[in-house]
Amino acid sequence: MRADLNTPWRIGSVEIPTRLVLAPMAGVSVQAFRRQGRRYGAGLVCSEMVSCAGLSHKNERTLGYLRIGRDEHPLAVQIFGAEPRVMAEAARMVEAAGADLVDINFGCPVRKVTKTGAGASMLDEPARAAAIVESVAQAVDVPVCVKLRRGVPNGSRTALEVGPMLVQAGASSITLHPRSAQQMYTGTADHSLTAELVELVDIPVVASGDITSRERAESVLAETGCAAVMVGRAAQGNPWAVGEIAGIVDGHPSREEVVAELLLFMRDTVLEMGEQRATGFLKKFYGWYLGRGRFPKPFANELVRLATVEAVEERLLAAAPGASEVLAGLEADIPALDDVVLDLPVSIYAGG
């Protein structure tokens, strides 16, 4: 049976217009990235993960994660930590900032997160994980979601044991990335495990991992019975991948379209972070946007060496003059930033 990616679904009281979710990615999922994802058909967008300790201590840069634009909804803000009380406090701040969903990260495999007892390491402490979900669910009125890996070691099936416990504790949705924490991003995502989780719980399950095309998205939806699919690394500097999966573009942009989207992303990022911080932050995006055979590799390397965002803009427009007209069309259709952004500090990742 062919699955329809463009039908609405719900997480608790929140209606989501398409079955495509834009993943939370550290150092990537800033506001400009999320707004772009919504334009290209993502039904739900997610913030990069936010330290609940940073929110608890009112860290200025961490508070920057709570900048929410009116054109981002529905939006999930993802938090991580290891203490139920602190996580509940952070969740209340997320709700107060206007997020539609609070997402809890029990999936990050990165050492600097897991060594604190947070992220994927929480799968080794099911009782604590359930206590965190219960504490957060009791603290807020918005639905609470959880993102999991399959477990810490290769071949683990821990997610199938922990998932039902988290539902009982108050989770309204689970996203499963069926790689182990040990795998990081190597190998393949085993979505047979996703199908098993779907059978075990009575809440929506989102399938994450290796969703790189519309064909793959439809097959995972059909074969697992999941409610939605999540696209992550495939969307980095490549909103056309999101649009192709959503069925609204063909996934093969012109050079002018590539440069226009990159310029818009750059301008939004500068407005969000300030030019000094944005200059360093944006460098990784040049290769992502301009790669995939769109421009010669030395061109992206040249941009990385330029000292200012203004110099990068000039070089891009020299390479694709027709991008100016495309960019003007994009900007005409987007709400003014001062109409969509709350008055909060910049993102913690803006510092590089």
Give the burial string for 170-206 (b: 16+ CB within 10 Å, else e): bbbbbbbbbbbbebeeeeebbbebbbbbbeebebbbb
State the CB neighbour count (10 A cutoff) for residue 155: 10
Catalytic residue among 46, 52, 108, 226: 108
Distance, CA of 106 to CA of 121 (rounded, Å): 7
State the CB neighbour count (10 A cutoff) for residue 251: 13
Distance, CA of 132 to CA of 122 (rounded, Å): 10
Distance, CA of 145 to CA of 14 (rounded, Å): 12
For the chain, where are the alpha helices, taking DSSP H only?
31-39, 52-56, 60-63, 84-97, 111-114, 126-139, 158-169, 191-200, 214-224, 239-246, 255-273, 275-281, 283-290, 297-305, 309-319, 323-332
Closest by CA position to 198, among listed 165, 225, 218, 230: 225
- 3-class state of residue 170 by DSSP: coil
Backbone angles phi, psi at 179, to 5 degrees: -110, 155
Structure-token match 């604590």, residue found: 128
Give the per-residue SS3 of 293-309. Answer: CCCCHHHHHHHHHCCCH
Using the 8-state DSSP alphabet, how is residue 251 labeled?
S
Judge whether 145 counts as a catalytic residue.
Answer: no
Closest by CA position to 163, among listed 104, 83, 94, 82: 104
Q: Name residue 220's amino acid.
A: V
Q: Which residues are catalytic?
A: 108
